Structure 1
């Protein structure tokens, strides 16, 4: 844990998903605005991307709670066969950032899934704050860089991720190999 922050995970109910999606998109849009990216083309991430994350095989959607109050959320994809799990979406509400909650939440996620062999995630190259957090705080390593010369084989052909700024700068895939 980070300091005395006790983040707990609460599985989101199906009825929670619209509010969860709204809070997640608000946090992502506010973060993108810090890099000069607006939401004029629609919410960030798109409704379709969020719905796909919610409905993917092995999806687990969690509220991140601090003293019982929702301060963020995470969408995980858990593969109980390979134990190669991924973080699809993760956010801390903007009014709770900068307090160590992200690291405390990540520690709670790792503790919830101790059988994980490898965690994987992706983040846009322009998101330096994310890169710092995942690499320097959480122990991930950059393992691949998707861009116009090296496309993500799992992304639609015309979409490196979401929008022109991301296409221009690329997208990182990160992994964290867990010790057993």
Structure 2
């Protein structure tokens, strides 16, 4: 099994958009009982073009045995307080331990990071399990705690 991070380029957008759409729709189906749902532009390439190809982001495709299976968008800052903007894996490859392997690769790629931050929707308990129990993040703030659709957990991981 060869798991790699490849720098995201425009040529990856169409393939990654289909993967992102499946991943977000699966999460929405499981947690909200709806067929489709995700951030603006998740299903037409606009999200990845806006954020993944942003000049200030560091974005990667996740490749398994030369096949794209997901992506990650990071914001790496001079003060070493970095932000995980997005990580997604095709539902066909979930629950195989690949997400934590990717996260460990990211931590090794950015060893000077002092603090990692991220946020995730309140409704997505699978994400909470991944970030808290697998990756070691802690919930530090809840925005809109009474709104299941708009609420967000703000998370942080202080590196040793």
TM-score by length of 1: 0.77
Is residue 118 of structure 1 aligned with residue 102 of structure 2?
Answer: no
Task: Tell me the residue number matched to 2:58.
Answer: 60
Give, in angstroms, the shift of residue 89 of structure 1: 1.1
Aligned length: 155
Instruction: Say whether the 8 Å CA contact 2:60–2:71 is kept in structure 1.
Output: yes
The answer on whether the counterparts of 2:75 and 2:84 sit within 8 Å (CA) in structure 1 is yes
Q: CA deviation at 1:19?
A: 2.7
CA contact (8 A) 1:143 1:175 kept: yes
* Contact 1:71 1:92 (8 Å CA) reproduced: yes
What residue number does 1:32 align with? Answer: 28
What runs of 5+ residues in structure 2 fail to find an aligned partner? none
Q: Which residue of 2 aligns with 1:97?
A: 94
What is the aligned counterpart of 1:166 among 149, 152, 156? 149
Asked whether the 8 Å contact 1:65–1:71 carries over to 2, the reply is yes
CA RMSD of aligned residues (A): 2.0
Q: Larger RCO: Structure 1 or Structure 2 (Cα < 8 Å, ≥ 6 residues apart)?
A: 1
Question: Which protein is bigger by CA-based radius of gyration?
Answer: 1
Deviation digits for residues 52-77 of structure 1, max 9, x if unmatched? 32254521221112222222111111
TM-score, length-normalised on structure 2?
Answer: 0.86
Task: Give the match's secondary structure for 2:88.
Answer: strand
Change (3 A) 1:118 1:57: farther
Structure 1: gaps spanning 5 or more residues: 150-163
Work out whether 1:78 is the aligned partner of 2:76: yes
- The alignment partner of 2:79 has SS state of coil
1:77 and 1:86 in contact (8 A); partners too:
yes
